[in-house]
Structure 1
């Protein structure tokens, strides 16, 4: 491996270096994207600061999960040092890195700080190059997360009900799951249970006996999770305490809590660089109180992207960050204090955490515009970036037809209660892919279609539980132990080092070294060609 460092005594000097894509070379990695590609050679991304963003508010942003790591089919690996004010472009058949101390990055702390610093590792195969980066820069997960979340489906209220949930709806939802003989890892009570965002307590109007409801769910065999964001809205019962104690990201110019407009109103972001703010959320007040008061088992952590920090005028955090991505890292580590039964949406430099990382919500379509054709490519990208415990969000996805940036003007429950279901064939194809990923999650239910869909869903859930689960766990344990250099979800080229064609496939993947999965992702299609790398395969499942 070789390191390159660019320095200057002046803040206004920038440094740029580009790496061309040769005709016989494919590149992988980087970030979650709206139109996820695998490989990334076909991306068109103009030069932009390399920080996580909410792809719903702006599809041109880099997504919720990203790392400063790229890998080529020729055995070249690139890694950019975390402190660098990095900007990245992928266009004109090349990837370019630019170091520039311009917004949203803060000025240099000292003239000696580098403008651009990166490592290039060269090897005779991408597998060996990846192993070098893994050993040098990334940490393996410390353990495997909650096994029940791997084995059996999560059932979320979000896609089916949006914010139109209450005690009756949740109990009826659970009754339906049992009626149709489906297993569960937990029922997830999503957006819409609070009176004000950031309360973390159940609205007594919608949930007059939340503790009793959760006790009934427990007695029926369900664990229960609720939805959490890093935002506390202005009218929340918790806002005053956070404001008075300095637990929010600050507006440096006015020395007051910074205000941020997010998809559910206006509030402030908890400053997770402040250990006391994390204690306040997790242990001393809010979430542990939710556990003890209601009996909630765990939590789904949403958001955490950097665009919500840089939206604050002259933003200031308790700890000055060399890399803004560290805010996401602190948020994730704070959440992980609550155990292994949690899920995150945003992640940076958190490969060591034994938790699930969820794909950003996708749209119910057949395309590569955040549709079903990005399921496999996103899973492969997460895996290569060091996040093996992939949660592919909800089967069939969430029927988004309007841009989320306008959600504060929309009555979600009215619009989505009357909107059509994802088309049946799309739902079934989505189900088939998810059955081979580390976790399954329903919200739109099979029985909302017909008996055929119910039977197919039961079959694929049982296939996941009885066949896929063992290989996911076995491969994950090997990865944790250091016996393997990639988690259970792998590109088909991982099985071979000299098969040029294998690098092109974005619609096949492997589960460990045992199963090759080749789903049908096109509408009205009943067969497909399957590419088998290596010399010998057996038709098994």
Structure 2
């Protein structure tokens, strides 16, 4: 294709109709007026696209009839206002937009800011490298090394809404006594007295400082679950409401006024937000009062109890769709502001995020169910996280983080736990929650422990890739298409690369005894020492304890 032909093909056919829509509050765009930009971008017949919606990574490259609206919808996971193609094309905006994808067109029908559409090369890698350098450059720093070098353990599945000192210590000792190495221990929701009352629950944690000291002595670093919500029936709520620290209601049911409403005390009336644990007020992070108060809670826990870091849950753009903010910022911007708080803590984890690629933040996939279907989503969603600059990433919890899958009477699949652990083993991070020694028989527990030992063997490689990502912005975990373009790997989602020299092909199908693996060009060496010269497809035997790994030879 000549340059002239390429230019003609990439012509953006559009008819700009600017419709200024009055935006009250933060539900759509804060200070930015909403604009309608019907813009049709041509898609070549052999061109594949990836869009920055992590929760839909398993649907990519995009198929016909896909659509998404970035405005106030993160689908419970990280999003980035970015589309990348296998032919080096980039679509980006500093502000959220909505788009529809068909087999030959990307239609951008609503946008708040300027849309950048540019061809920067001929490959997915070129498109990513340009985007990383231009839109979300690496910060040069990374989360704490322990998040990469050792397994993480989360107390959620074992204790759910009954986090307590006795059982947390039991869980921690169980890790050590069953031959697992210490790592980061995350104490989940309900350690606190109430949402917004960030002190240890006095009934469930009679001696929290002693507990923290014991956990540290065992070799753990400890993170606490946090959220930006405050329960309305509390003294903390009343104090913060009087200071205007919450997102506030625009109007009541009987009024069409855009003027923020006031409560019976004359304070601005907080917007009540429904989330998975009830109805709460939500901190307005565009208000310095709210930010200073929230940071003071974090600092108090760190100083008084030795807490090492925090799991920052919620922060979803959806929770800020209604109401007005102090800074008149968008719902997406509130999510970004929540992400910035974690920059002060090398031990951090986020599930929802907007436009914070390249930053030293640990990003986790949203909760997965205990199913083979969800296990198969891990590789493509982790690939997408890397392509969007969220490369310090964790593939949820081993066996699934959706707690109802583990309630009494639920049917557990021991093989699924093993294959999940193996899939995690050579990803950037590895996180347990359900206790393997409690639910597995001897053979399956042995296989899980071997996966942990395998990670230990490669921990310096993983850490090296994390350091490289912090410096260069290159993803830690990469797709086959990223490293080997135009060789038919665009839709390969059951194997992945760690850096450019390690190929990992986890078993993702129940009862699978033989796996077909795509070996790219070059000479590759298996764990067992066998040499394979690519490109070719091979079939290998995969017993319960097997994780196929191939290292590229110089």
TM-score by length of 1: 0.85
Is 1:473 aligned to 2:484, yes or no?
Answer: no
Deviation at 1:383, TM superposition (A): 0.1
Distance 1:197 1:148 in 2: 28
Deviation at 1:91, TM superposition (A): 4.7
Match of 1:118 in 2: 116
Match of 2:49 in 1: 27
Is 1:486 aligned to 2:474, yes or no?
Answer: yes
Is 1:520 aligned to 2:531, yes or no?
Answer: no
Deviation at 1:11, TM superposition (A): 1.7
Contact persistence 1:159–1:394 (CA under 8 A): no
Match of 1:318 in 2: 326
Match of 2:38 in 1: 16
What residue ranges of structure 1 are gaps of 5+ in the alignment? Answer: 54-61, 102-113, 403-415
Distance 2:85 2:523 in 1: 26
Which shifted more, 154-163 or 2-11? 2-11
Work out which of the residue numbers 313, 323, 333 in structure 2 matches 1:302. Answer: 313
Deviation at 1:306, TM superposition (A): 0.9
Work out which of the residue numbers 256, 275, 286 in structure 2 matches 1:262. Answer: 275
Match of 2:145 in 1: 147
Distance 1:317 1:97 in 2: 28
Change (3 A) 1:399 1:144: closer
Contact persistence 2:160–2:403 (CA under 8 A): no
Distance 2:501 2:441 in 1: 33
SS of 1:250's partner is coil
Deviation at 1:417, TM superposition (A): 4.2
Is 1:364 aligned to 2:362, yes or no?
Answer: no
Change (3 A) 1:127 1:461: same
Deviations 1:186-223 (A, max 9, x none): 22110122232221211111111222222222222222
Contact persistence 1:52–1:64 (CA under 8 A): no
Deviations 1:141-196 (A, max 9, x none): 33121111111111111112211232211111111111112112222110122232
Work out which of the residue numbers 338, 352, 355 in structure 2 matches 1:349. Answer: 355
Deviation at 1:384, TM superposition (A): 0.2
Deviations 1:110-165 (A, max 9, x none): xxxx6x63322242222222222222212213312111111111111111221123
Deviation at 1:375, TM superposition (A): 0.2
Deviation at 1:497, TM superposition (A): 2.7
Computing the radius of gyration from Cα coordinates, the structure with the larger value is: 2
Deviation at 1:342, TM superposition (A): 0.7
Deviations 1:313-339 (A, max 9, x none): xx1112122x532211110101222x2
Deviation at 1:35, TM superposition (A): 7.0
Distance 1:92 1:494 in 2: 21
Change (3 A) 1:275 1:119: farther
Deviation at 1:7, TM superposition (A): 5.5
Deviation at 1:517, TM superposition (A): 0.7
Is 1:453 aligned to 2:444, yes or no?
Answer: yes
Change (3 A) 1:530 1:271: same
SS of 1:455's partner is helix
Distance 1:422 1:94 in 2: 44
Deviations 1:276-324 (A, max 9, x none): 32121113xx1212223333221100011111111x3xx1112122x53
- RMSD of Structure 2 on Structure 1 (CA): 2.4
Match of 1:429 in 2: 419
TM-score by length of 2: 0.83
1:386-401 correspondence to structure 2 within 5 Å: 386-401=389-404
1:372-391 correspondence to structure 2 within 5 Å: 372-391=375-394
Distance 1:100 1:21 in 2: 20
Match of 1:134 in 2: 132
Distance 1:30 1:488 in 2: 17
Match of 1:227 in 2: 225
Distance 1:259 1:399 in 2: 26
Contact persistence 1:272–1:334 (CA under 8 A): no
Deviation at 1:25, TM superposition (A): 1.9
1:204-243 correspondence to structure 2 within 5 Å: 204-243=202-241
Distance 2:325 2:358 in 1: 24
Distance 1:3 1:264 in 2: 48
Contact persistence 2:11–2:42 (CA under 8 A): no
Match of 2:536 in 1: none
Distance 2:18 2:512 in 1: 60
Deviations 1:211-244 (A, max 9, x none): 2222222222222221101111112442122211
Deviation at 1:8, TM superposition (A): 5.1
Contact persistence 2:196–2:231 (CA under 8 A): yes
Work out which of the residue numbers 79, 82, 88 in structure 1 matches 2:99. Answer: 88
Work out which of the residue numbers 415, 418, 424 in structure 1 matches 2:408. Answer: 418
Deviation at 1:454, TM superposition (A): 2.3
Deviation at 1:34, TM superposition (A): 5.2
Contact persistence 2:54–2:381 (CA under 8 A): yes
SS of 2:52's partner is strand
Distance 1:69 1:435 in 2: 29
State how many pairs are aligned.
490
Match of 1:56 in 2: none
Distance 1:131 1:386 in 2: 10
Contact persistence 1:67–1:349 (CA under 8 A): yes
Distance 1:197 1:224 in 2: 20
What residue ranges of structure 2 are gaps of 5+ in the alignment? Answer: 1-6, 22-34, 252-260, 262-267, 528-548, 550-554
